Amino acid sequence: ALFDWLCNKDPPRLDSTKFSPELCDFVEKTLIKDPTARASAGDLLNGPWLRPIATGDHEAARKELAEWMSSVSSSGKN
């Protein structure tokens, strides 16, 4: 069932009213099914969501990631 869902359904999207545009963009780019269209690791590492980690703003990224992970795990329970 999970494999079928992963292969045949559109990837989930974050609620843009709850998460930053940078995180929404990052998640969207990582979940593109076509590997030729998906962002590379280098693109993701240099993107606007991960860039603050390199400049020392770890807490903001950690908080946003925790919120996203919580929302994903709760949406699977419905």
Model confidence pLDDT, tens digit, residues 11-62:
888 899 988 899 899 999 999 989 999 999 989 988 888 887 766 777 877 8
Q: Quick check: 9 pLDDT over 80?
A: yes
Distance between CA atoms of residues 68 and 66, nearest Å: 5
Would you list the domain boundaries of the chain? 2-75
Do residues 22 and 47 lie in contact, with contact meaning Cβ atoms separated by under 8 Å? yes
pTM above 0.75, yes or no: no
| Dihedral sign of CA atoms 34, 63, 45, 21 in order | positive
Do residues 24 and 14 lie in contact, with contact meaning Cβ atoms separated by under 8 Å? yes
Q: Quick check: 72 pLDDT over 90?
A: no
Exposed, middle or buried, 24 (CB in 10 Å: 0-12/13-18/19+)?
middle
Q: What is the pLDDT of residue 75?
A: 66
